[in-house]
Every structure is written in structure tokens, then in C-alpha cells.
Amino acid sequence: MGADSRAEHAGRGRVARTTVLAACGALLAGGCATMPDSGEVQPVKGSNTGDSQVRVYAVAPRENADPNEIVDGFLEAMTSDDPGFATARKYLTKKAAGTWKPEQSITVLATAPNRKQADRNADPDKEGRVYPLAGRKIATVDARHAYQPISPADYLWSIHVVQQPTANGKGKEWRIDSLPPGLVLGEADFLRNYRSVNKYYFASGEDWVVADPVYIRQRQDPVTRMDPVTQTVKALLDGPTNWLKQAVDSSFPSRTTLQAGVTSLATDDQSTLKVPLHFEGRQVDGVACRRMAAQLLFTLRDLPSVRVEQVELLGETGSLCRLGKGQAAEFAAVPEADLDEKPYFVDAQGKLKKLMVAGKETASPVDVPGPLGKGTVRLGSIAVDRGEARAAGVDKPARRLFVSSITTEQASRPPVVESSGVRPEDRLSAPSWGGRGDLWVADRNPVRPRLWMVPGRTGKRVEVRTPWLGDDRIESLRVSADGVRIALVIRRGERTTLQIGRIERHTTDEETTVSVVDLQPAAPRLETVTAVSWAGPSRLVVVGKEAGGVQQIRYLQTDGSTSTTSVLPGLNGVSSVSAPHTESVETPMVADSEDGIVRLPPGTNWQPVVKDGDSPVYPG
């Protein structure tokens, strides 16, 4: 049962685990405390935060354990790092132990599974005992480590316990012969045992990488015995998650694996990670090897357990290639030259301005060249491309979308998209620039809601195929830096939800069609979503409310997962928010609130920037 509710069940059976801290706190200046070698095992109430420093050690069933203890002990053992889940299998019949595959899936509940009492009227010799498990299901994790959130829903399964002969044949013992598939964990235990990492693959037909978040074990994997670095490499070699694989390519040939027996990977004294690979069939050439090494470097850069400055790929006959972090940078979705980001906004006169928000003091806004900064059109919302060479602006009535240079003066050009919606809120959304240089905007006209893309090279608008749109409408949107994913705030009736769609492009001799497909919920626990911004390769910052709650600002992964440290300081009346692509102490988040435009430098609270202004955005 989960760390947050197991203690209340301790009275009905022995709690079958012990916990220790995996790291010494700073207060233990005299050294780490040692574990006692005698005394009873006491129930320990685990951390509600899923603290990864807490280790859980499974305890085997005691002799003559009653069926309650067997069920509780098994639920406890599922939360441990026990190699092969060997102790957990001791609670199962021989047949059940042989067929149970904990690595195939994880069911994540809001809190630990609640074990109900069995029907004591049943004849245990003939029927055994059935223990219902209940909870609120919030997500699943599949065999490819992909996290899939759902709107919280009732979870109900059962565990069946029977009596079987003991090993010596002189008696009987209770064991589980029917159980839920995979692992069933409360969210606290899940976050304690697993961490999110980004695998990286190349956008289809392109030379930049796309993040693909998955979950791996915090420590050694009980099934594969691999450490976190090796788990991460194996997950990369296994290929992209099912949702992303239609839009990305891997430079690793199919069926590429780690060489047999590799369970641990560590860097040498030069911070070089040597990765021994096995290829089926042909060997790889230098260009492909370089791209494979880049995928590895991007994938491993966020792991706290290792610092990798260079990757060397090894085949059966020796070294294949080496690549350093500096060389891999050319494959980033956002070039390093574009990472000195400055936010822009619309001032009280409806003109485009640049904000200077880095440092302790905020400088005065800077004028922007071109018709959006100095022309006659009064703007309501804006977007700036990642190279900060062009900007797009929707006028105050939200009827027309204009594009112009912001590096040179030029004459105003005709609008590239127009809406005929009756009310301003039924017209154009705020625009967004994708990583390919394409401009996106939604027409919210209820008569015919549509999504438009203006390609960066042609300037001729393209209607994006949205077979899922129906009676819904897109309130706002933000396209990822890699151009493969789009975050959509979608209204259905009175509810607004956050969805992540996959952008697919198909080119024929006559035309290129663009579609947004396979929408996935990114914040199913939020009843209302007000605003969203990308905050890195696979992270979003979201403004919304849970049912009956107050507005909050929090970080979410694009797969919908979160952590207990994701909630940001509160702010009243937030209508829009924007975050830089990289987290930096010099680059704060910005938002539009009832107090005007404000900034949030890392580690501090919100600070005022401009009293009268709208639509603060970073490039993108």
C-alpha cells in the first residue's frame, strides 16, 4: 500500500517493509547513522512527497501468516527495490509468481491502493478469499516507460488468496493466485521509485532533436538490474514512445541493443561515457554514428547521477566514433545563439515593445523597428520568431493577423489571416511561431473554427487538418521549439482543457498537408485551463484550476506528469504566461496579471515590471 496510507493498516497485519534514508542530511555532521541490528520491525509512515532518498526493503511472509498479512505484505513488497521482485513473488503461488510481469505496466493511483476486507463467509478450502482493491486511478505507464495521465477515475480490482501445501507438505499456507497486472502504486510511491527523463530523437527528415519523456527507476531496476544510466540508454535504443514515433526518426539501426551483460555504465576521468553496442546486420557509417552519439548526449544531460561531456560508441570490434557536448549542440532545436532570450509585450498604445527583465532592476521597455512597433495598427496579441527577426501581431479587434520584420523598417503588409467572427473572443487567438519558422493561429469563429499555419518559406496560409475539432474550439495554442508538438487550450462547453497534439506533415508532388492528430490530455486534473507556455524541450507552465480550487501556476511535463515541487508562487488574475526555453537564473518567467506584467526570477516571488501592458511572450 502507498506511503501515505499504509500506517493505518498496520494493525491488521505486519507491515512488510522497512525504510532507510539513502543519504545523510546536512545536520548529521558527525557522520551517517547506522541501522540497528536488533529489535522489532516498526511501521514507518512514508513521505507524501515521494522522496527518492527513502529506500524500501521488502520482507518475506512469516510462517503461518494470515491472508490479510499476505495481501498487505505483497502490496508493500511491490513498492520496494527488491531484485527481480523476488520477495514480492514469495507471496504468490508458484504459478502466479511465474506469470506475473511487473515490468509490463504500472497503474498509478492518487493514493495507495485501499485493501478492503475479504468475504469471511466464503469457504477458504473451496473458494479462497477475495480482497477488493480500490482507489482513484490517475495514470498508467506502459512497457515502453511512457506515462499516460487520465482524468481521475475509480479503480477497482481484486486479489484472490488460496491455501496451498507448505514446502514440507505438513501444513497449508495462504498465497495469492490472482492479482492485478503489472505494478499498482500510489503516486507517492511511484514518484519515490521513478523519475522522468527525456529521450531524444530526430524530427522526421530534419537535423534537430525532439524530447520524448519517459520514466525510469530512480535506482537499480529490479528486473533488468540496470543502473539509471544504463536504463536510460536502453530506453533510447528501444525507440520512441508509441505516441511520438510517427513524427521522429532514430539514427540507431533497428534492433540495436547494448552488448550482452551490460548493466552498468559510468564515465571515465575525462567524463567520457563509453557505450558498447550490438548491431544486427550492417555497421553504421560516420554520419549515422555521430547522430547516434548526439541522441545519447542529449538524453543523458539531465541525469543527476552522471556528468557526461563526451560519448564514445563501441562496436564489437572497437571504437566507432566520439562526440562532445559542444559538437552535439548543432542538433539542438533552439540554437545556442537564440538562447539569449528577451520577452516582448504590447504596450498601452497597442505597440510591440521589448522587455529588459534580467538582473535585479528592470530597465525601460525598448522600441521595436517595423510596422508592429511603430505602425498604425493597434495590437492585441503578438508572437516573435525564435531568431527574433520577425514578429506576428493580431490586431485589437482580433480580426487580422499581420507579419513584419522587427530588425529593419518596412512598410505595412496585408494581413495573412482574417476572421469573420462576430465577437472579438470568436475571432483570432494569439499567434505562435513553431521551431520550423512556421506561424500558427486559431480562428475561433463558432460557425467554422479552424487552425491555420503560415509556412515560413512561402507566406501562403495553409488550413491545418483537425479531424477532432468538431464543436470544440481552440482558445489558445503554443507550438514547441522542435515543431513536432503543439499545446492547445480547447474549450468544450464551459470547460477548457489542455491537450498536446502531434504535428504531421505529408508532402506530395502537388502540395504539403499539415495535420494535428492524436491529442493527449496534459492536465486532466485541472477543470479549467487559462494559459500555457512551453518551458523547455518537454516541460510546460500551465495556469488553471482544479475542481473547487483556486487558480494556480505549475509546471507539467508534456506527458501530463508532475511532481510535488511543480507549483509556482501564487498570482492573482493571470490571463497569460510565458517562460524561456532554458531555465536560467538570468531569465525570468513573465505573466500578465491583474497587477500588470510581472516577472518571476528563479527562487523568488513575482515582481512588477509594467503596469499597463498585455501579451508578454518569449520568442516562440
pLDDT at 35 over 60: no
For the chain, how are helix, strand and coil distributed in percent, rounded to 5?
15, 40, 50
Residue 434 domain-assigned?
yes
- If pLDDT is split at 50, 70 and 90, which confidence band does 45 have? very low
**Residue with grid cell 506515462, as numbered in its chain:** 147
pLDDT at 563: 67
Q: Which of these three, 169, 192, 215, is where a domain ends?
A: 192
- If pLDDT is split at 50, 70 and 90, which confidence band does 11 have? very low
Q: Taking residues 338-342, report their average pLDDT.
A: 76
- In this structure, the answer to whether residues 308 and 180 fall within a common structural domain is no
Q: Taking residues 234-245, report their average pLDDT.
A: 96
Least confident of 43-52, 266-275, 568-577, 591-600: 43-52
- In this structure, the answer to whether residues 419 and 432 fall within a common structural domain is yes
**How would you label 191-224 residue by residue, b for 16+ Cβ within 10 Å and e otherwise?**
bbbbbbbbbbbbbeebebbbbbbbbbbbbbbbee
The grid coordinates of residue 389 equal: 527577426
The grid coordinates of residue 50 equal: 515521494
Residue 17 domain-assigned?
yes
- In this structure, the answer to whether residues 387 and 499 fall within a common structural domain is yes
pLDDT at 25: 39
Residue 612 domain-assigned?
yes
Q: In which domain, by residue range, is 265 found?
A: 195-331
Q: Taking residues 390-395, report their average pLDDT.
A: 96
- In angstroms, the first-to-last Cα distance of the chain is 44
d(Cα 220, Cα 229) in Å, to the nearest integer?
10
Residue 453 domain-assigned?
yes
d(Cα 437, Cα 390) in Å, to the nearest integer?
10
Among the listed residues 3, 592, 23, 616, the one whose alpha carbon sits nearest the alpha carbon of residue 304: 23
Q: Taking residues 218-246, report their average pLDDT.
A: 95
Q: Taking residues 141-151, report their average pLDDT.
A: 93
The residue ranking higher by pLDDT, 512 or 101, is 101
- In this structure, the answer to whether residues 184 and 215 fall within a common structural domain is no
pLDDT at 124: 57
- In this structure, the answer to whether residues 279 and 373 fall within a common structural domain is no
Other beta carbons less than 10 A from residue 122's beta carbon: 12
- Which of 5-14, 35-44, 101-110 is predicted most confidently? 101-110
The 3-state DSSP class for residue 110 equals: coil
d(Cα 293, Cα 319) in Å, to the nearest integer?
12
Q: Taking residues 220-241, report their average pLDDT.
A: 96
Q: Taking residues 379-385, report their average pLDDT.
A: 95
- In this structure, the answer to whether residues 179 and 229 fall within a common structural domain is no
What percent of the chain clears pLDDT 90, i.e. is strictly above it?
Answer: 68
- In this structure, the answer to whether residues 160 and 245 fall within a common structural domain is no
The Cα angle at residue 460 between residues 334 and 397, in degrees rounded to 5: 85
Q: Taking residues 381-385, report their average pLDDT.
A: 95
d(Cα 507, Cα 516) in Å, to the nearest integer?
15
Q: Taking residues 374-400, report their average pLDDT.
A: 94
The residue ranking higher by pLDDT, 21 or 339, is 339
Among the listed residues 383, 405, 361, the one whose alpha carbon sits nearest the alpha carbon of residue 618: 383
- In this structure, the answer to whether residues 215 and 128 fall within a common structural domain is no
d(Cα 78, Cα 60) in Å, to the nearest integer?
12
d(Cα 215, Cα 206) in Å, to the nearest integer?
26
DSSP H helical ranges for 222-285: 228-237
Q: Taking residues 296-322, report their average pLDDT.
A: 92
Residue 1 domain-assigned?
no
pLDDT at 41: 40
Q: What is the pLDDT of residues 307-319, one digit of tens each?
A: 999 999 999 888 9
Q: Which of these three, 176, 192, 208, is where a domain ends?
A: 192
- In this structure, the answer to whether residues 400 and 475 fall within a common structural domain is yes
d(Cα 396, Cα 65) in Å, to the nearest integer?
72
pLDDT at 5: 41
The residue ranking higher by pLDDT, 356 or 124, is 356
Q: Which of these three, 290, 314, 331, is where a domain ends?
A: 331
Q: What is the pLDDT of residues 512-570, one digit of tens each?
A: 899 999 999 999 989 999 999 999 999 999 999 988 889 999 999 999 998 656 888 98
Given a contact cutoff of 8 angstroms between Cβ atoms, the answer to whether 35 and 43 are in contact is no
Handedness of CA 373, 376, 379, 385 (dihedral sign): negative
The interaxial angle of helices 228-237 and 286-300, nearest 10 deg, is 130
* Residue partners of 202: CB distance under 8 A and separation at least 6: 208, 209, 210, 248, 249, 250, 251, 291, 295, 331
Domain count, the chain: 3
Q: Taking residues 410-417, report their average pLDDT.
A: 90
The Cα angle at residue 72 between residues 67 and 78, in degrees rounded to 5: 130
DSSP H helical ranges for 341-400: 371-374
Q: At 154, which amino acid appears?
A: D
Mean pLDDT of the chain: 87
Residue 170 domain-assigned?
yes
The residue ranking higher by pLDDT, 46 or 142, is 142
pLDDT at 76 over 90: yes
Among the listed residues 589, 591, 592, 569, the one whose alpha carbon sits nearest the alpha carbon of residue 579: 589
CA distances from 124 to 73, 75, 129, 163, 236 (A): 19, 21, 6, 7, 48
- In this structure, the answer to whether residues 508 and 529 fall within a common structural domain is yes
d(Cα 256, Cα 234) in Å, to the nearest integer?
10
Other beta carbons less than 10 A from residue 101's beta carbon: 13
Least confident of 42-56, 202-216, 309-323, 521-535: 42-56
Please, is 518 exposed, middle or buried when counting C-beta atoms within 10 Å of its C-beta (0-12, 13-18, 19+)? middle
- In this structure, the answer to whether residues 463 and 553 fall within a common structural domain is yes
- Domain of residue 416, CATH code: 2.120.10.30
Other beta carbons less than 10 A from residue 385's beta carbon: 21
Q: At 63, which amino acid appears?
A: E
- In this structure, the answer to whether residues 379 and 492 fall within a common structural domain is yes
